[in-house]
């Protein structure tokens, strides 16, 4: 929800020499192309799909959102580099969110490509395919964050059931850390829960590359807490996963959103520092009186423009409330705060007030 010093709106990617979201199949290195696919009605603008060529066909890292405009563009860009959908042998999907998973599962089933996804995201797929689901599962997450009125707005804005045709189960579940051969390349599949419980990054150490999904983004911080079913401490998981990736060699970042960036170490350090500051601010906000994530979110600045909470659109307000609740949950896990479930949402209180100088 916030940014580094590189504004997304002006982020030129070195492989294209253009804004990172510009249409095309951009060569990152020999045998690897980056194809940005559009995300209508989404502030992220695009999602990067990475195409890895092998003698046997293509492996794609992430698939994009299963919408016609993105499918047509992916087909056109693959044609520009001499391939078609029938050449895709496998999708390695970083996580279950719609802009990464849904096109992969649709094309995988149509063309017989293997679709791999982290097993930690199976509960989300099970929930999205639950025939008894009568409302968006995110509404209850908003309510626990204290955002009751926002939940009503989200529901009014389109609470239709998920389409099971784009939430099909993968062919392969990824468990733990493992090595995956992609032609002559070897990718380290590294489980990095946090953004979602089943998130994976794929590191090609020999080439110095990190296919980072939404775990390490170069210009923004990945959303935390926007996951169903909810996990107890998503931010704690995310920060532990950042530390895990920091222990890898320093790699070039090939992110799902944003430009190709030079240093995974530098960006991980920035992300950890950002969340440390956010935790301090959140703790200070509950020092004198208990508060919900929604209430505390009003006291923080949002996006690279440092916007006030009230200046965000309703969707972003909901994301911010969930993310703030995740910070407060980590304070509880660290013994710095307590939590109480109430009809108005989960209330958090600092264990002790700030120490006077």
CA dist., res. 178 & res. 180, Å (int): 7
Q: Give the pLDDT score at 356.
A: 42
Give the Cα separation of 45 and 212 in Å (integer): 18
Which pLDDT score, from 0 to 100, does residue 357 have? 38
Query: Would you call 202 helix, strand, or coil by DSSP?
Result: strand
**Structure token digits, residue 83:** 């391939």
- Average pLDDT score over residue span 301-318: 91
* pLDDT range class, residue 327, cuts 50, 70, 90: very high
For residue range 50-94, list pLDDT tens digits in order. Answer: 999 999 999 999 999 999 999 999 999 999 999 999 999 999 999
Indicate the SS3 state at residue 89.
strand
pLDDT of residue 2: 42
**DSSP three-state, residue 322:** helix
Q: What is the mean pLDDT of residues 9-23?
A: 90
Give the DSSP H/E element, type plus range, for residue 49.
strand 46-54
pLDDT score for 160: 66
Beta strands 57-61 and 46-54: pairing type? Answer: antiparallel
Across all residues in the chain, what is the average pLDDT? 93
pLDDT score of 159: 58
Rg, Å, the chain Cα set: 20
Distance of CA 245 to the CA centre of its chain: 15
| pLDDT score of 10 | 65
pLDDT value of position 74 = 98
What is the pLDDT at residue 197?
A: 98
Q: What b-and-e string marks burial along 283-306, b requiring 16 or more CB atoms within 10 Å of the CB?
A: bebbeeebbbbbbbbeebebbbee
Each residue of 230-287: pLDDT tens digit?
Answer: 999 999 999 999 999 999 999 999 999 999 999 999 999 999 999 999 999 999 999 9
pLDDT at 79: 98
Q: Which long-range contacts (CB under 8 A, 24 or more apart) does 42-45 make?
A: 42/99, 43/316, 44/99, 44/257, 45/8, 45/21, 45/257
- The yes-or-no verdict on residue 137 having pLDDT over 90 is no
């Amino acid at each position: 929800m916030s940014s580094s010093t590189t504004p997304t709106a002006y982020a030129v990617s070195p492989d294209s020499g253009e804004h990172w979201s510009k249409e095309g199949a951009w060569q990152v290195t020999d045998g690897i192309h980056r194809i940005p696919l559009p995300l209508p009605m989404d502030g992220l603008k695009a999602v990067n799909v990475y195409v890895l060529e092998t003698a046997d066909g293509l492996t794609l890292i992430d698939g994009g959102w299963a919408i016609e405009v993105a499918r047509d563009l992916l087909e056109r860009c693959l044609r520009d580099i001499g391939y078609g959908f029938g050449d895709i042998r496998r999708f390695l999907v970083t996580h279950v969110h719609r802009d990464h998973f849904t096109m992969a599962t649709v094309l995988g089933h149509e063309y017989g490509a293997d679709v791999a996804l982290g097993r930690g995201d199976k509960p989300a797929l099970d929930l999205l395919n639950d025939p008894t689901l009568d409302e968006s599962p995110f509404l209850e997450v908003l309510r626990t964050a204290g955002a009751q009125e926002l939940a009503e707005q989200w529901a009014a804005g389109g609470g239709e059931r998920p389409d099971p045709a784009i939430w099909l189960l993968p062919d392969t579940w990824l468990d733990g850390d493992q090595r995956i051969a992609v032609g002559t390349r070897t990718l380290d599949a590294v489980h990095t829960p946090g953004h979602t419980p089943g998130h994976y990054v794929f590191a090609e150490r020999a080439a110095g590359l990190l296919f980072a999904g939404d775990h390490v983004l170069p210009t923004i911080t990945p959303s935390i807490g926007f996951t169903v079913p909810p996990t107890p401490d998503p931010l704690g998981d995310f920060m532990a996963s950042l530390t895990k990736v920091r222990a890898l060699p320093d790699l070039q970042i090939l992110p799902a959103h944003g430009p190709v960036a030079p240093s995974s170490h530098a960006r991980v350090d920035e992300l950890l520092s950002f969340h440390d500051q956010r935790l301090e601010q959140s703790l200070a906000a509950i020092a004198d009186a208990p508060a919900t994530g929604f209430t505390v979110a009003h006291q923080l600045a949002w996006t690279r423009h440092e916007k006030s909470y009230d200046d965000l659109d309703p969707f972003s307000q909901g994301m911010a409330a969930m993310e703030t609740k995740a910070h407060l949950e980590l304070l509880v896990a660290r013994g710095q705060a307590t939590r109480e479930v109430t009809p108005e949402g989960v209330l958090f209180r600092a264990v002790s007030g700030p120490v006077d100088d």
